[in-house]
Structure 1
């Protein structure tokens, strides 16, 4: 496995430019050594982003409500818009997210479809 080190913002920027250039070629058009280089650069860029730039999420969601809030934030979606997209009354969604009401299978299915929350996570935390 190739190793790629990033030790400065300049090196990170140069790495990202190379990553985008390789990605623009299309995976099927890359030579095996280019694929190895791309893989090593992506790993190094992610490590740099997590450790130096502080882009790593503070913590993984520990509940369905936290996962829903994170997805709503990512999609810049209000709770009322989410209720509408899930086909729920705002009050029912509020009760589900606050823990006053237990999530049912139709609710979990709709979270999976609308917000693309991992099904395994939903089942583990239901």
Structure 2
């Protein structure tokens, strides 16, 4: 089933339909409703990415950028993040500003606390 969204009004109406179908519960949807839901969600994601540009403009390319993105997503200040990670505020600041290399305990904390991909951390350490 092909589904497309051309305007903000179409997007809004599509999102209302998606929420109504989701409220029913997946186990209560007919096969045709499941196909319709799948097509609408793909179209909504495409509209959000291409028109509304809700996707990040660029993927982080450094550990500092990844940490700053997580801070933004979770609405964390540097001081709060330092406390969560169990590091000093000055150490976090130095790492984010490129004045200090992250050490293994810091990388482990990023992985465990912020759920930053371990592969990314190892590649960029």
Q: Does TM, scored on the shorter chain, surpass 0.5?
A: yes
Q: What 5-or-longer segments of structure 2 have no aligned partner?
A: none
Aligned match of 2:54 = 55
In structure 2, C-alpha distance between the alignment counterparts of 1:66 and 1:89, rounded to whole Å: 19
Aligned match of 1:31 = 30
In structure 1, C-alpha distance between the alignment counterparts of 2:105 and 2:32, rounded to whole Å: 47
Change in Cα spacing, 1:108 to 1:31, as seen in structure 2 (3 Å) is farther
Give matches, 1:87-102, under 5 Å: 87-102=86-101
In structure 1, C-alpha distance between the alignment counterparts of 2:110 and 2:40, rounded to whole Å: 34
Q: What 5-or-longer segments of structure 1 have no aligned partner?
A: none
Aligned match of 1:13 = 12
Please report how far the alpha carbon of residue 35 of structure 1 lies from its aligned counterpart in structure 2 after TM superposition: 2.5
RMSD: 1.6
TM-score by length of 1: 0.88
Give runs of ≥4 in structure 1 deviating > 4 Å. none
**Matched positions, count:** 125
In structure 1, C-alpha distance between the alignment counterparts of 2:79 and 2:107, rounded to whole Å: 17
In structure 2, C-alpha distance between the alignment counterparts of 1:35 and 1:20, rounded to whole Å: 13
Change in Cα spacing, 1:108 to 1:48, as seen in structure 2 (3 Å) is same
TM-score by length of 2: 0.88
In structure 2, C-alpha distance between the alignment counterparts of 1:99 and 1:52, rounded to whole Å: 35
